[in-house]
Amino acid sequence: MASTVSTQLDMGDIQGDILFAYGNDYVCTSYVFVNVEGADGRSWLGALVDRVTSARPWPKDPDGATIKRDTTLNLAFTAAGLAALGVAPELLATFSSEFLSGMASRAGELGDVGPSAPSNWDPGLGTGEAHVLATINAKRSDLLERELTAFREHAERCGVTIVNEQHAELLGGQREHFGFADGFGQPAIEGVSEHKSVGGGVPEPDGRWRPLAPGEFILGYEDEDSRVDDEQRLPSAPATPLGRCGTYMVYRKLHQDVALWRKTLRDAAHGYEGGERKLAAKIVGRWPNGAPLVTSPEDEDPDFDPTQAHSNDFRYLDDDPDGRRCPLGAHIRRSNPRDALGWEGLDDAGLLAFRHRIIRRGMPYGPPLAPNVTADDGDDRGLVFVCFNASLSRQFESVQQQWLNDGNPFALGDDRDFLLGDASGSGKMTIQGDPPFFLAPQQSFVTTKGGEYLFAPGMTALAALADATESGL
């Protein structure tokens, strides 16, 4: 197996916030979906391309401090959007089938049924109207508003219409609405974040960890298949010039019923000797500050620091095979099983759990529910879930369908992820112990309010999209 990639990642050609998160300096984000039908979409795009933020490292001041822009802009396209911009059908056909069919058409596979069904989604999403997603991050809300105003005016001038706009911002303590620190369990990638390999990369049977190949997340580079392929073929990607340095993006607006979450925990904790706080940790697999249950099984480690190199250094097979610390069906154990599925498989690579990793970005939206309130106040709040992967079906959809919405891979029957999974299975969750504790079926805490599959092209591809004469697209 090759230990190094043959090609250096071209950071200047990759859009920002994919391989490297912009970070919490940016406290607010707007996700703006536009429709370019009947407009001069290419001109509209052309005026934006130079403002798109790449993954090129930020400059530093004389003291060595990073100088980040006040705002960032990134663009991604739906299949309908690429078609509306005039991308030729034969070129469009080189994109993956799940991207071309769109998230709404995959509702059954993704568990978006009942209240989460596309017919209940926010206007403009899942209908084919959304063509381009502009993601604008800002260090302050006034800066965001300034950018949004300019964006809206430019769109209006070009006849481009805004079909959906979602504002999101960090919550106090950088928690999501259920009260948990989120977002630091990211894959370690060769040439990007190798220093986070321990706990973030691929666990190997000899106890070591290794980073993932960058082609798992950025097209045009070697992926894990390339590494074991004698010809080192690159993963399937859209045809030149669109594929290289691009990636598939998932956008999902997930409404969180915080009142129901709290009420369920409060009621269930009457019969659970560990109490409400520990029960919540068992469902998630981490304590609210992010400390993993595998390494902190009894109580939250107040000194836990997710930025430390070994903060995520744990495995399931040796440390917690039967789920006494972190339940077998806990959210983090399902969404990234590490070594929990065992080593039997191709080339001792386990059951290929590492082929289903995703880079998660996203931001909470809506005001927090006041502390200790267990009655719904009617406000819309939740998480804008964003992730990036080279294959929607192998990565995002597999996690959603096989690991979160099913129990079979973990020998859990019809149980699903109690935190996120749809409620059409058994609805229960088992907390392993003597005796085990069962969380009773309840309505879903999380409802999908909209979503799209998108493609985030590289910077060269963006320029080609904007200039059809030059690129021939």
Question: Where on the chain is the footprint of another protein (CB under 8 A)?
Answer: 271, 413-414, 426, 428, 435, 437-441
- Cis amide bond preceding 205, omega within 30: no
CB of 426 vs another protein, minimal distance in Å: 5
Comparison of 219 and 423: residue with beta carbon closer to another protein: 423
CB of 341 vs another protein, minimal distance in Å: 20
Long-range contacts of 412-417 (CB under 8 A, 24+ apart): 412/328, 412/329, 415/329, 416/111, 417/329, 417/331, 417/334, 417/335
Comparison of 373 and 440: residue with beta carbon closer to another protein: 440
- Cis amide bond preceding 241, omega within 30: yes
Asked whether the beta carbons of 456 and 81 are under 8 A apart, the reply is no
Comparison of 86 and 413: residue with beta carbon closer to another protein: 413
Question: What DSSP state is assigned to residue 38?
Answer: T
Comparison of 20 and 438: residue with beta carbon closer to another protein: 438
Comparison of 232 and 408: residue with beta carbon closer to another protein: 408
Strands 28-35 and 161-169: antiparallel
CB of 427 vs another protein, minimal distance in Å: 9
CB of 153 vs another protein, minimal distance in Å: 46
CB of 350 vs another protein, minimal distance in Å: 23
Query: What phi, psi does 112 have (nearest 5°)?
Result: -85, 75
CB of 108 vs another protein, minimal distance in Å: 11
Comparison of 383 and 423: residue with beta carbon closer to another protein: 423
Strands 382-389 and 437-439: unpaired
CA distances from 470 to 51, 56, 241, 460, 466 (A): 20, 25, 12, 12, 9
Comparison of 263 and 428: residue with beta carbon closer to another protein: 428
Q: How far is CA 64 from the centre of its chain?
A: 31
| Residue 213 CB contacts under 8 Å (≥ 6 apart), including other chains | 5, 189, 190, 221, 222, 223, 224, 226, 227
CB of 114 vs another protein, minimal distance in Å: 19
